[in-house]
Amino acid sequence: MADTSDITSWHKRAQGPFALAGPVARADGSMPLRGDLAHIGLAGKYFVPHYAVPQPRTVLPGGAPLLASSDGGAEELCTLLEGDSFEVLDVIGVWAWGCLSLEGPVGYVLLDRLEPLV
């Protein structure tokens, strides 16, 4: 039989958010976190292949609906108000995925409803 004392002692020393020490609670969907991408503010808390630094963009006059997906018929989560700062984390065609803050809400906004980058 193999001696497992070295493995056991290593496991007891393993620390940090990425130690393989068991299941981790899933995010509730209100955080800027997808399977492939997360807000840089979540680094060290959740492990994903890529972290994005948000690019703040101002919501244009008339506001903008924040949708649950990039499908035009998707559920509207809320309405962003004119002048709100929306943190863009990813651009997919005519859609921006992002959040109002690290605590949410998170969703998709049409790019033409946000101030263009200069």
Range of the domain at 81: 30-113
Instruction: Let me know if residue 2 belongs to a domain.
Output: no
Cα–Cα dist 77/105, whole Å? 8
3-state secondary structure (DSSP) of residue 52: strand
Question: Which pLDDT score, from 0 to 100, does residue 10 have?
Answer: 46
CATH number at residue 83: 2.30.30.40
Instruction: Let me know if residue 23 belongs to a domain.
Output: no
Instruction: Let me know if residue 72 belongs to a domain.
Output: yes
Instruction: Let me know if residue 25 belongs to a domain.
Output: no
DSSP designation for 73: T
Q: How many domains does the chain have?
A: 1
pLDDT tens for the 118 residues of the chain, in order: 555 555 455 445 555 555 555 555 555 668 999 999 999 999 998 899 999 999 999 999 999 999 999 987 899 999 999 999 999 999 999 999 999 999 999 999 999 999 997 7
Cα–Cα dist 33/58, whole Å? 21
What does pTM read for this prediction? 0.77
62's enclosing H/E stretch is: none
User: Where does residue 67 rank: exposed (0-12), middle (13-18), buried (19+ CB within 10 A)?
Assistant: buried
Question: Which pLDDT score, from 0 to 100, does residue 25 have?
Answer: 56
